[in-house]
Structure 1
Amino acid sequence: MSLDYISSIMQPLLQGAETTIITFLIVILLSLPLGFLITLMAKSRVKPLAWIAHTYIYVMRGTPLMLQLLFFCFGLPLLPVIGQYLVIDRFVAACIGFVLNYAAYFAEIFRGGLLSIDKGQYEASQVLGLSRWQTMSKVIIPQMIRVALPAVANESITLVKDTALLYAVAVPELLHYAQTAVNRDFTIAPFVVAGVIYLLMTLVLTLFFKALEKRFKFE
């Protein structure tokens, strides 16, 4: 595995890593707020809303992410009547699948964070005359984030690795370019380099969340 060879395969691998990073950012930015919204729905006193949220979480967590990606990328256009209107870019379809899947997991994480907060916090907020919005934004949510952050960090790191599933739905990303180089050159070196790139991405993410945890811990 010479340096010249590594240099020759770095450009396509970095191009694939760019797709991985973009996918990660899109999914995180959309699935976190969606997950929190689903958590609020699940805790709603409106029974139909709570039932929809619980059913959604059960379905998305109970079926393989791979199956969901295949459905959104290849299954939607096959739906009767409306399928012809659901033909979308494969990358967009895959991102939708990732967002909906991870939103369900984040919803459960946030629910656990809310359950960890003592009911006395709500009562104390009422005594202080805080509105429901003030109670949630200034008292409950900051404490929920502190509790949920380690689990969110773990899911985020898992997401970086799960982006490799894009390879299965024919969206070129890091693993795709590594596999192409392996098939072409009959060497495992591209897999090793791809592994190092994944490790670097997860390292950056791990350091980011550790800094975030320290911030919330001492606030």
Structure 2
Amino acid sequence: MGVVTSHLDVFAEGLLTSLQISAATFLLAAAGGVLLSCCRISPVGPLRWFAAGYVTAVRGVPLLVLLTLFVFGLPEAGVVYSLPWTVVTAMGAYWAAFFCETVRAGIRSVPTGQIEAARALGLTGRQLLSSVVLPQALRSVLQPLASLLIAVILNSSLAAAVGVTDELTGQTVLLDQRYAQPLVTFTAAAACYALLTGTIGRLAAVLDGRLAVRR
């Protein structure tokens, strides 16, 4: 345990970097996912086909493979920016497909009567989505979205596999290479991930319970 206690700052910095990567990824996935879900329910055929094809294609590729393609493929195409942001872009594009399907499930849960009433009041398609459908859809899938956020955090560890060494798993690997105590270092990393994801799950449950009363 001496390795852990003497390097608490390393674990803290690694956890902070993992949180930053996860937060940026989730925000990007949320923006892309909501856009894709709107396309999937659009009356415009090409938009529906594009969104359906994107979701099917992305969900059929392992995240690590997609990360590798982005990290090594973008420079070949002349697109060069920092490695962490390349990872965030790849993971955001990946999780957007899952976010889309989660939001679409929430949209389906909105009563058709409310949609018809909104149309009868003269709301445009954009107003219908932004004022009636999406707020209720997002609220109804709060727990699935929390699970998606947990998945994003846990899978941020794959960033270490493509060279991001300052996030939690990458820092743990470096400590293990230095002290050769994998059980101790990776147990500490696992505890950090478990504490973080457990907290998110608990907060989501509390928030979901409060919102359920107001429905």
Tell whether the structures are fold-level matches, with TM greater than 0.5. yes
Counterpart-to-counterpart distance in 1, 2:160 and 2:28: 22
1:145 to 2:143 alignment: no
The within-5 A match list for 1:7-156 is: 7-78=5-76, 83=77, 85-156=78-149
Structure 2: stretches of 5+ with no match in the other structure: none
Alignment partner for residue 174 of structure 1, among 168, 176, 196?
A: 168
Alignment partner for residue 191 of structure 2, among 190, 196, 215?
A: 196
Contact persistence 1:36–1:110 (CA under 8 A): yes
CA offsets 1:118-160 (integer angstroms, 9 cap, x no match): 3222112234454444433333223212322111111111111
CA offsets 1:66-97 (integer angstroms, 9 cap, x no match): 1110011112222xxxx2x2122111110000
Counterpart-to-counterpart distance in 2, 1:42 and 1:129: 23
CA offsets 1:102-126 (integer angstroms, 9 cap, x no match): 1110001111111222322211223
Aligned to 1:205: 200
Contact persistence 1:181–1:190 (CA under 8 A): yes
TM normalised by structure 1 equals 0.90
TM normalised by structure 2 equals 0.91
Structure 1: stretches of 5+ with no match in the other structure: none
Aligned to 1:185: 179
Residue 10 of structure 1, CA deviation: 1.4
Count of paired positions: 212
The one-letter code matched in structure 2 to 1:209 is A
Q: Which moved more, 1:175-184 or 1:150-159?
A: 175-184
Aligned to 2:150: 157
Identity %: 30
Q: Which moved more, 1:147-156 or 1:103-112?
A: 147-156
Counterpart-to-counterpart distance in 1, 2:59 and 2:142: 20
The alpha-carbon distance between structure 1 residues 139 and 189, as it changes in their structure 2 partners (threshold 3 A), is same
The alpha-carbon distance between structure 1 residues 47 and 131, as it changes in their structure 2 partners (threshold 3 A), is closer
Contact persistence 1:9–1:190 (CA under 8 A): no
CA offsets 1:5-64 (integer angstroms, 9 cap, x no match): 322121222211111000011011221122011111122122222211111111111111
Counterpart-to-counterpart distance in 2, 1:131 and 1:49: 18
Q: Which runs of 4+ in 1 moved over 2 A?
A: 124-139
Counterpart-to-counterpart distance in 2, 1:145 and 1:161: 22
